[in-house]
Amino acid sequence: MTADLDDLDVRLVGELQVDGRAPMEAVAAALGLSRAAARSRYERLVARGAVHVVGVVDPAVQGLHAFAHLSVFVSGSARHVARAVAALPTTPLVSIVAGRASLIAEVRAPDMPALYDLIRRVKAVNGVHHVEAATYTRRIKDRASPSPPSVMPRIDDLDRAILDVLQADGRIAYARLGRAVSCSPSAVRSRVQALIASSAVRITAITTPGQAGLTQMCGLGLRLSRTDAAVSALAALPALTYLSLTLGRWDAIATLLVASPGAVVTETDRIRALPGVDGVEAWTHLEVVKEDYRLELTPVRRRSFDAERLRRSGHDAQPVA
């Protein structure tokens, strides 16, 4: 651990990554602390900006079903191009990297024709001279997102209002959430629990990598021969925070998050040695220009609702106990 987060801090964050709305009594019991001590640690981490509990909404809620990873090769300023790409719609991740490409981006669209059009817009950005796309076919592991639902539940206006608030504050008290969407706390509680159970949303702790001592973020393009065996082994690696199967240059794309360059070498060597992994291509994230997976949910009709006002209002109400 680093001086930023001690072992108890890391364990506390781990509990909230599993269940961001876990009662503080349960978190405290898991850590062997009093409720007051656990809450004090949590509030200190939030105040420092080291952790934020949010609702991560499945993109299918907004009708986004096609995804791709882009390797973007540029002439001139990588920052200029990265900012222009980041301004495009449904582009949640843009990062300047060291590797074959100058930057990488993740793009989302409702379907494959729309995804193709979005990639064409990236190619048209001034300074871009080449784009390689890897289309996601199946998400295997993602610490920050819900597991894809087998059947997307019906989402109405009230659900969208609730999800919009949870994207800003995953631990907001039911009473305060109910006031925000003009609904009773008991009805809101039932809705939130149903949305979580359906995998429409996952409430989880998002950490700032540098604060947690995990300062080295690398992307990996993987060539696989024995896909099933390799995927199972890769998904079990704690250092891999993301893993998806793809079509394109690679069979899979992964994200590695570790504490040091030496750990990058150790983990990539471990990955190369796995049965079924035939090749590993790596790139290092130098500057994340944009990382925002919040969805612009459809405006809610017939309700007085202002998510931005709630975001600015701070913690004037009691959070989840």
Residues 73-98: tens digit of each pLDDT? 999 999 999 999 999 989 999 999 99
Mean pLDDT of 291-319: 54
> Over 50: is that where the pLDDT of 303 sits?
no
Q: Residue 60's pLDDT is what?
A: 87
Q: Residue 185's pLDDT is what?
A: 95
The confidence band for 214, taking pLDDT boundaries of 50, 70 and 90, is: low
> Over 70: is that where the pLDDT of 140 sits?
yes
Question: What does the domain layout of the chain look like in residue ranges?
Answer: 7-48, 60-144+209-291
Mean pLDDT of 137-160: 79
Cut 0.85: pTM above it: no
Is 7-48 CATH 1.10.10? yes
Residues 260-297: tens digit of each pLDDT? 889 999 999 999 999 999 999 999 999 999 988 888 87
Q: Residue 187's pLDDT is what?
A: 95
Q: Residue 211's pLDDT is what?
A: 55
> 60-144+209-291: which CATH topology?
Alpha-Beta Plaits (3.30.70)
**Averaged pLDDT of the chain:** 87
Hunting for tokens 């080449």 — which residue is that?
130
Top-confidence residue, 201 or 309: 201
